[in-house]
Chain A
Amino acid sequence: QVQLQESGPGVVKPSQTLSLTCIVSGASISSGHYYWNWIRQPAGKGLEWIGRIYASGSANHNPSLKSRLTISVDTSKNQFSLTLNSVTAADTAVYYCTAQWLGEDYWGQGTLVTVSS
């Protein structure tokens, strides 16, 4: 059973950088079996896909966030990360990391990130 845990600051100041890490257990990122995703959800709103990365480091990004977004993977630590620059209040959301491949779909519990001064 794959388990994922998001970690990072709960509050980020406007214009600064949001950094989150997803720690993976129960599976090896380097096995190449899953896509590793970041998804967010503002309070009371729908899901927004942020991007995904594969074990090789190949990544896809939401076009609306691409200019501010970096997704990376560290196979030695079995974790992957999200960096979002120049944040605004619109980036306030619960951020989820997920592992997905066909009918296998695992989610972290989510972490609330608030952009506020």
Chain B
Amino acid sequence: QSVLTQPPSVSAAPGQKVTISCTGGRSNIGNNYVSWYQQVPGSAPKLLIYDNNQRPSGIPDRFSGSKSGTSGTLGITGLQTGDEADYYCGTWDSNLSAWLFGGGTKLTVL
């Protein structure tokens, strides 16, 4: 069981918006930046968001991130079938001196 809690699955129709939550605690999300990764089956994960809300070069602005307290949120607008993937949050835990991943959320675009 992950220290960072994500919903196992979310779904929405093409063109719609979806949000994925990631809930942790004071020692991890509460005091550190949140990152988000996308993993298409059979491929390595790809960084979508870092430092809570920053997009790496090449990531479209349909992807956004935010943080409030001990929770982070990934938002995806204008859903496309190509967005179907597993999404993971990640952050540093200051008590453990270790990086944590959430359990992952499977996005289905209906």
Chain A interfacial positions (CB closer than 8 Å to B): 37, 46-49, 52, 60-63, 96, 100, 102-105, 107-110
Contact = CB atoms under 8 A, between A and B. Distances in A.
Interface of B: 2, 37, 39, 44-47, 50-51, 54-57, 86, 88, 90, 96-104
Contacts of A47: 37, 39, 45, 88, 90, 101, 104
A103 B54 contact: yes
B50 A103 contact: yes
Interface centre among A52, A63, A105, by most chain B C-beta atoms within 10 angstroms, is A105
Contacts of B2: 46
B56 A46 contact: no
A100 B35 CA distance: 12
Contacts of A49: 90, 98-101
B56 A62 contact: no
A47 B86 CA distance: 11
A60 to B, nearest CB: 5
16 contacts: A37-B99, A46-B101, A46-B102, A46-B103, A46-B104, A47-B37, A47-B88, A47-B90, A49-B100, A100-B47, A102-B51, A103-B47, A103-B51, A105-B50, A107-B45, A109-B44
Given A49-B90, A49-B99, A52-B99, 12 more contacts: A46-B86, A46-B103, A46-B104, A47-B101, A47-B104, A60-B98, A60-B99, A96-B44, A96-B45, A103-B47, A105-B50, A108-B44
B71 to A, nearest CB: 18
A110 B57 CA distance: 23
Contacts of B37: 47
A106 to B, nearest CB: 9
B47 A105 contact: yes
B42 to A, nearest CB: 10
